[in-house]
Every structure is written in structure tokens, then in C-alpha cells.
Amino acid sequence: MPRIEYVPKAFRRSSLDIIERANAICAEYARQGFDLTLRQLYYQFVARDWIANKQTEYDRLGAIINDARLAGLLDWNYIVDRTRNLRGLSHWDSPDEIIQGSAYSYRTERWANQHTRVEVWIEKDALVGVIAGVCQRYDVDYFSCRGYTSQSEMWGAAQRLLRYEKAGQDTVIVHLGDHDPSGVDMTRDIDDRLELFGASTNVVRIALNMDQVEEHQPPPNPAKLTDSRASGYIAQHGRSSWELDALDPATLARLIEEEIEAWRDEAQWERDTAVMERERALLTAVSERWAEVAEFVDGGR
């Protein structure tokens, strides 16, 4: 729990109240295995009617959270930036360590024996961290569209889906996006362009939908009138729109989990998992007896 004071600061009582509430929210999500972006935290405040849903309040919350972290009042691990990450190569201290790591990460392609191949696509890159846990737990590939997906990426996706189809599998794209003029249209766009490129896939939008808006009551935003799709959206849904970020992370994870399970043959999955675990155990045994393996290989040279 790194709370490190870098810049001492005296806060007003109103700011301290916000910091205490932020700590409580973040701690609760941390117990569930989730971290939050600043925007997700902001929507948790809005949903509880602690602040108004407007840009000035978002900016104010961001400033308070930034100062609180620098002052050592908020855990640095609670708030994350999922769009900026350091990348590099992996390194190991010894051969047995990499074999042990390989045993831990060893996975066979268990979806290859399923009737249906599932992928999860989400509109926003900032929410990839929310869906990563459940997708990795089910060994499902997932993808950040970053709005309307580029033509290159969509063509590449179609070629991938066509390979699955030629192997005898049906394919499903599980899509999540904002409920606003463009966010709703993106599901249609994915379906149309994949069909254009020859992929006969099933695109299923599981969030954000109007029934979920009615059930969870996320904070509304005005629909963007400058969006070319605004008139059609307003005619169907009214002048309010809702961001996917406003849904509770646990709710998003549950929606994805339920959709994946609906398409997966559980009995086949268990059989393939048992084979994978036996092979993983063999790798683990090799790492634990690496000295003997190395001696045997060296002696045979």
C-alpha cells in the first residue's frame, strides 16, 4: 500500500472529505481485484450524487486526487493510466527460472476444440484493464477498438475470423461501447465491415444497452449534437447519452463472463484443461529438477 509523501500539503475539509471517499471506493475495488482510471472514479462520485456530472467537477476531482497522491494520502496503485505503459523484453536470472515461468504461463489452445470461437472487443482503450482479468481467466482474446476500428485492423480481424471458420468454427464478437450516437453505431459498423471482408461472424453488443441504463442508472450526458449520427440517435433514445466507464467494473466483468459461458462447451473445456494441466505439471517438474536435467544434457555432449 504505497502512500508516499512527496509534496506536503494542507487540505481544506471539503477536499479531505473527497479524499476519504476516494480511498473508500478504491479500497473496495482493490479488494475485488480492480484498479480504476480517474474517469471511472469520477463516475463513482457522480453516481453517488457527491459531485455534479460536468467537466469542471471532473477537473476539480483530478486536481484533488493528484495532490492527495503527492501528499501521501492516497495509494499510488489505486488510480492507473491504461494508455501509457513502458514496454521491453523479459529477462531471467537462470534457465530454471525461465522454465518455471514457462510452466506458469503454459496454455494450450483450448478454444480450438470449441464449436464457437469468442473474442471481446471494447470501444475504449482506457477500459481494457477492466476486461483483461475476466478475458484472461477464460482465455479469450480481447481487443481495444479505440473508437471506430481502423480499416487495416478490421481487415486483419476478418482474415483471422475466416481462418476459424475454415477450421469449422462459428465466431462471435462480443462488443462493449458507450451509449451515444457513435458508440451505438460502432456495433453496426463492426458487423457491416466484417461482412464486407467476407467474415460471417455474430456481433453481440452486451453493453451499454438501454435496459442496463434503466437498471443501473449511470449518470447521463447530453448527446453530442455535432455528431452526424445524433438526429437518428435522439429520435430513438432521446437527448441523453451514457458512457461505458460509468458502469461498475464488477458489472462489466460479470456481463462478459456470462456471455462467454453462454457460448462455451464446458465439458469439452474441462477435458482440454485436464490435458493442459498434465503438461504444465511436467514442465514444473523439469524446472524443479533443472540441475539434474542440465547435468544429463551436458554429459551427453
Its sign, for the CA torsion 213, 195, 234, 122, is positive
How many alpha carbons fall within 13 Å on the CB side of residue 259?
26
**pLDDT for 85-128, tens place per residue?**
778 888 888 888 888 888 889 999 999 999 999 999 999 988 88
pTM, rounded to two decimals: 0.83
| Residue 169: pLDDT band with limits 50, 70, 90 | very high
Q: Is the per-residue pLDDT at 161 higher than 70?
A: yes
Q: What is the fold, at CATH topology level, of the domain defined by 108-264? A: Dna Topoisomerase Vi A Subunit; Chain: A, domain 2 (3.40.1360)
Residue 278 corresponds to which cell in the numbers above? Answer: 498434465
Q: For the chain, which residues make up each domain, given as ranges?
A: 13-70, 108-264, 267-299
Mean pLDDT over the full length of the chain: 93
* Strand stretches in the chain, DSSP E: 116-122, 141-144, 170-176, 202-207, 221-222, 240-241
Q: What is the per-residue pLDDT for 247? A: 92
- Three cell numbers written together for 180: 451515444
pLDDT for position 102: 87
Q: How confident is the model at residue 301 (pLDDT cuts 50, 70, 90)?
A: low
Closest CA to 224 of 206, 237, 207: 237
DSSP helix/strand/coil, 144: strand
CA–CA gap between residue 57 and residue 3 (Å, rounded):
25
Closest by alpha carbon to 250, among 75, 62, 31, 21?
A: 31
